[in-house]
Amino acid sequence: MNVCKHPSIVQLFEMILEPNNNMLVTEYLSGGDLFTHVKNFDGLTEIEAKGLFRSAVLATRVCHTRGISHRDIKLDNLLLTSDRKSVKL
């Protein structure tokens, strides 16, 4: 996560490694996940979907150019910023 700096990628602040636990301290995204948003608001408009999809694709491209694969891209793993107008991987 530290290697991929992009506005649509969750920022990692710290990693805490313990014998039985690993913890990641990331930025706080209060918008929730995209799956819950779509379910609660009866979908997205075409314009909203286009913008969110574009953000996700651009973030994925940044990861791929650095040889990193997400391997679990789904609506549950796309987090929304507080304004719910942009998505982060």
Catalytic residue among 33, 42, 72, 76: 72
Q: What is the pLDDT of residues 53-76, one digit of tens each?
A: 999 999 999 999 999 998 999 999
Position 84 pLDDT exceeds 70 = no
Which CATH number does the domain housing residue 84 bear? 1.10.510.10
- Residue at 7 is within a domain: no
- Residue at 4 is within a domain: no
- b/e 21-38 (16+ beta carbons within 10 angstroms → b): eeeeeeeebebebbeebe
**Residue 42 is a catalytic residue:** no
How many domains, in total, are found in the chain? 1
Position 2 pLDDT exceeds 80 = no
- Residue at 81 is within a domain: yes
Q: Which structural domain, as residue segments, surrounds residue 31?
A: 12-88
77 touches 60 (CB < 8 A):
no
- Residue at 78 is within a domain: yes
